Copies of this chain bind each other. A is one copy, B any other.
């Protein structure tokens, strides 16, 4: 049996064959447990590694010149960590645990063998990466061109959509192990201002964020604020290798 967390990202595009499922299992090397706040690796580390997130949430962050932190992306189970830095001699981002988490170390060699032995699986991994790039593009656009309120709305919707993918019955309430300072570092503002923005969402009856629990009361209003279009995955995969 292959754990669902590992394949959900792939099967979102297309079902996998048995041999592809077997190949996917070869990615998962030794497992490592992380405490909340623990670092998996720091930006600047040489020969950056690859990881598969099995449980918990982690995040990718960068420190800019002034010392401020920008969180680039939040990772959930099934996500592959460290792919962008694969192209570089030194890690571009820091990986750390937002909650207690466990990861499997992935060897580069195993990745290379996917390209060699399972071209269709490699192409699907390529697509997953491109989709994550679109998410980054959306975040860049909202960071550059919208207010904090709009950005927070977009973030809540994106987190919710990702949770629904792995748990379709999650409903309108979900847990997110993010402090207000984490949110601030995600959205490029200060924690103080995030606090005021959350209160505005609550006052308007759109979202309540209490402790680590988020409840969406008015999804339509939230989507209107966010300005995000629906992003349906491609259904034309006829070009993929057999």
Taking beta carbons and an 8 Å cutoff, which residues of A are in contact with B?
13, 44, 47, 60, 62, 64-66, 68-70, 72, 83-90, 92-93, 107-109, 111-113, 115-116, 119-120, 122-123, 125-134, 136-146, 150, 187-188, 226-227, 229, 231-236, 238-242
- Given contacts A140-B143, A141-B72, A144-B143, whether A66 and B241 have CB atoms under 8 Å apart is no
* Residues on the B chain within 8 Å of A108, using CB: 236, 238-239
Least CB distance, A124 to chain B, in whole angstroms: 10
- Copies of this chain held together in the complex: 2
The reply to whether B134 and A133 contact each other, CB–CB distance below 8 Å, is: no
CA A110 to CA B193, docked complex, whole Å: 49
* Residues on the B chain within 8 Å of A85, using CB: 130, 134
- Given contacts A83-B130, A87-B234, A122-B122, whether A142 and B239 have CB atoms under 8 Å apart is no
CA A131 to CA B128, docked complex, whole Å: 15
Q: Beyond A69-B145, A112-B241: 18 further Cβ-contacts under 8 Å?
A: A62-B137, A62-B141, A64-B141, A64-B142, A64-B227, A66-B145, A68-B145, A70-B141, A85-B134, A88-B134, A88-B234, A93-B137, A115-B120, A122-B123, A122-B126, A129-B133, A133-B133, A144-B188
Least CB distance, A167 to chain B, in whole angstroms: 22
The reply to whether A47 and B236 contact each other, CB–CB distance below 8 Å, is: yes
The reply to whether A232 and B84 contact each other, CB–CB distance below 8 Å, is: no
The reply to whether B240 and A112 contact each other, CB–CB distance below 8 Å, is: yes
The one of B62, B115, B187, B232 in contact with A119, judged by C-beta atoms closer than 8 angstroms, is B115
* Residues on the B chain within 8 Å of A84, using CB: 130-131, 133-134, 137
Q: 7 tightest A-B contacts by CB? A: A144-B188, A65-B227, A108-B239, A70-B141, A116-B241, A112-B239, A87-B131
Q: Determine the residue in chain B with the shortest Cβ distance to A242.
A: B116
The reply to whether A87 and B127 contact each other, CB–CB distance below 8 Å, is: yes
The reply to whether B87 and A137 contact each other, CB–CB distance below 8 Å, is: no
Least CB distance, A230 to chain B, in whole angstroms: 9
Least CB distance, A168 to chain B, in whole angstroms: 20
The reply to whether A123 and B129 contact each other, CB–CB distance below 8 Å, is: no
18 A-B residue contacts at CB 8 Å? A47-B236, A64-B141, A64-B145, A66-B145, A86-B130, A87-B128, A87-B134, A87-B233, A92-B231, A108-B239, A109-B239, A112-B123, A115-B126, A122-B126, A133-B136, A139-B140, A143-B144, A143-B188
